Amino acid sequence: MTQNIPHYETRNAICEYGRSLLEDDLTTGTGGNLSARLDEDHIAISPSGVPYEEIAPPDVPVVRTDGTVVEGEIDPSTELPMHLEVYEQRPDVGGVVHTHSPYATTFASLGEAIPASHYLLAFTGTEVPVAEYETHATQDLGDAAVEALGDSYNATLLRNHGVLTADDSLEDAYTVALMVEYCARIHHQARAIGDPEILPDEEIDRLRGKLDSYGQ
C-alpha cells in the first residue's frame, strides 16, 4: 500500500501533525494547515476543509510550486498561496505550519509582537513579529507573512488571524509552533501580574545555537 503512494512518509507526517494540532490545542475544527517541501519543485500540503481525524496519506495533495496539483483528489488548503510564497522566498525552509493557537492569536489580534520574556522564544528569533493584516487565502497574505519573516525569523503572527511558523523540516516547524504558543501564554500571564523582563537580543542570538539539540 505505502509503496503505491508517492511521498507516503511525508504525506503521512502531515496527517499525524494535523491531528496533533487539535491534541495540542493549536487550532480548532479544520482550522490551520501544514506543508512540507518534497523537492525543489513540489510540496505536500494538508487538504482543504477535511477534519484532521479523517485525513489519510492519499488525501494529502502534492502540489507543484506553480500551484498545480499532481497527486491527491482533494483540493489543497486554501492557504496554499501563503505556503508557496514562503518556500519561494525562503529556500532554507522545509516545513510550514499555520495555526490559530489561542494565546499567540490573542497577540495577533492586538497587533503586538511577542517579545523574549522566556528564553524558548529563541526558537523563533528575538521576537515573534506581526505581519500586516491581509485577507486569508490570498497572495497578499503570503506576501505579508514573508515580509514579516524576513531572513531572521522562524515565526510570525498573522494580524487578526493566527500564527505562521517555518523551519528546516515539518517537525521543526511544528516544534516552533508549540514554542510560540507556550511563550505567548507565559508572556500573557506575566503581564497579568506585572512587567515581564525581556531578554536582550544578544542573549537570544547566543541561545539559538544551543537550542538546535533541544529535545534530543
Active site residue ranges: 79
Say which residues have a Cβ less than 8 Å from residue 158's Cβ, sequence separation at least 6.
Answer: 98, 108, 131, 133, 141, 144, 145, 164
Q: How far apart are CA 122 and CA 208, in angstroms?
A: 5
Among 45, 54, 53, 55, smallest CA distance to 77 is for 45
| SS3 label, residue 44 | strand
CA-to-CA separations, 103 to 44, 79, 128, 184, in angstroms, rounded? 28, 21, 13, 5
| SS3 label, residue 70 | strand
39, three cell numbers: 523537492
Q: Do 131 and 156 form a contact (C-beta atoms < 8 A)?
A: yes
